[in-house]
Amino acid sequence: MSTPEILTEREEGVLRVRIHRLDKKNALTLAMYAALTAALTEAAEDAAVRAVVLTGGGDSFSSGNDIADFLAAPPAGEDSPVFRFLTALRQFEKPLLAAVNGPAVGIGVTMLLHCDLIYARSGATLAMPFVNLGLCPEGGSSLLLPRLIGYPRAAELLLLGEPFSAEQALEWGLINGIGADADATLELALGRARRLARQPAAAVRLAKMLLKRNEAEALRDTMALEGRHFIELLNAPEAAAALRAFVERRRG
């Protein structure tokens, strides 16, 4: 399925999913989460899809949740489009790759933690400023990030919301490789995805399950707990003020 803001295209067993809301740096709305979830669900059911590559249109990967949406239609529970999307990512059994063509913020980064292979454009900046906005980590990041890069670095990225570069992410082992520009980055990801698409499907699926099995239960519990606290904080005055400041600064 394709919508104007979530474009999908299949070629040689690889489904490309492009986040495409250029005027807002690919900020994600409720409708876009629903479309992403539908794309993943369809990819899971379609035997012709052997790998999925997530990428962004224009010069950004994703600026995260649409901040105006956070104020107008905050998620209310596990059935909210954002949490359904995160669950679909967590449960996706086929290889999931990302080509980070530009800045990635908030859930634009946490979604990467669920990918199997990640490539980023040289110089791309990533950040998870949840706490800066009066919010808490989501999408399993409080569990996955310290496991991937160690607690001290994860604390800097999650408690201070410090931005980091694709080069730092590579050095920390958070991503697999760097492309010189957006096209080269996408080509890197597509090349790997095509190779994965030619691997024996059942073996790939089982290997992915085995690689993730030890953290599967803890990840499910962590995401549920993060989700509950995230909703509480989103409805508290600190976050409302920080989010309103973002919207008003832009208007002013």
Measured from the CB atom, is 13 or 75 closer to ligand COA?
Answer: 75
Secondary structure string (H, E, C) spanning 162-207: CCEEHHHHHHHCCCCEEECCHHHHHHHHHHHHHHHHHCCHHHHHHH
Other beta carbons within 10 angstroms of residue 127's beta carbon come to 20
Least distance from ligand COA to the Cβ atom of residue 123, Å: 13
Measured from the CB atom, is 53 or 234 closer to ligand COA?
Answer: 234
Least distance from ligand COA to the Cβ atom of residue 70, Å: 7
Measured from the CB atom, is 139 or 179 closer to ligand COA?
Answer: 139
Residues within the interface to ligand COA (CB under 6 A):
24-25, 27, 60, 63-68, 103, 105-106, 129-130, 133, 250
Question: And the tokens for 156?
Answer: 């800097």
Instruction: Return d(Cα 6, Cα 56) in angstroms, integer.
Output: 9
What CA–CA distances, in Å, run from 46 to 1, 111, 135? 12, 22, 36
Residue written as token pair 């399950």: 209
Measured from the CB atom, is 65 or 141 closer to ligand COA?
Answer: 65
